[in-house]
Amino acid sequence: TFRQWRQFTHQDEEDRGKRQVLVLGLDGAGKSSMLLGLLPGQPAARRGRCRPTRGFNFMSLNAPACQLDFLEIGGGEDLRRYWSDYMRRTHVLVYVVDSADRSRLPLAKAELHRLLGVGPQMPVVILGNKQDKPDAVSVSELHDALSLSSVTEDRKLFLLAAQLGSEGVESQIADSETQSSPAADDSG
């Protein structure tokens, strides 16, 4: 439950060896598939067959510099209102966007900018997912569609493109972790 997640993050927020990664995005963006892709030995065929997340998923990975604790919260309209509640204890936000669903890019943009307005100045990884689809927007089109040039310069922002079976997402997220400071350090 969400209560268990809050207790978990509260207990470990002093532990500098762990980093909380919040994975958000509209329903159908591919958040669960992306997380499955981070697990060693997961076949690409299985990654594309995830059921929609109705609540949340949690998984932990050991990266070279720290332990990454991923919390994915479903992207349905009924769950989006809770997203900002989890920003305070998060070290990195991974925002997954369906690059092939052009009709939902304005909504993805609105939700992203709402989160950026609420959350602390944590690094943000924006994952343009489903780049293997024929109607997918390019990375530069995604940058424009999400109005990323309007994001303040003091925020670390990473824009990545991914497709089913692509490699390297884990290392990109881990790289952003090494540049993050713990969310509890709000003193500066």
* Structural domain spans, the chain: 2-9+17-178
- Has 159 been labeled as part of a binding site? no
If pLDDT is split at 50, 70 and 90, which confidence band does 35 have?
confident
d(CA 9, CA 25): 21
Known binding residue 76? Answer is no
Does residue 26 have a known ligand-binding role?
A: yes
Tokens 């949340």 label which residue?
Answer: 56
Q: Is 133 annotated as a binding residue?
A: no
Tell me the pLDDT band of 33, cut-offs 50, 70 and 90. Answer: confident
Tokens of 56: 């949340």
- Considering the four listed CATH numbers 3.40.50.970, 3.40.50.300, 3.40.50.1100, 2.60.60.20, the one that applies to the domain covering 2-9+17-178 is 3.40.50.300
Paired with 160 in beta bridges are 127
Q: Is the pTM here over 0.95, yes or no?
A: no
Q: Is 131 annotated as a binding residue?
A: yes
Over the stretch 139-155, which tens digit does the pLDDT of each residue have?
Answer: 999 999 999 999 877 78
29 marked as binding residue:
yes
74 is in an annotated binding site: no
Per residue in 46-103, pLDDT (tens digit) is 555 667 777 888 988 887 878 889 999 999 999 999 999 988 888 999 999 999 999 9
Residue 116 known to bind ligand:
no
Q: Which residue has the higher pLDDT, 106 or 63?
A: 106
Residue by residue, DSSP assigns 22-64 as: EEE--TTSSHHHHHHHHSTT--HHHHTTPPPPSSEEEEEEE-S
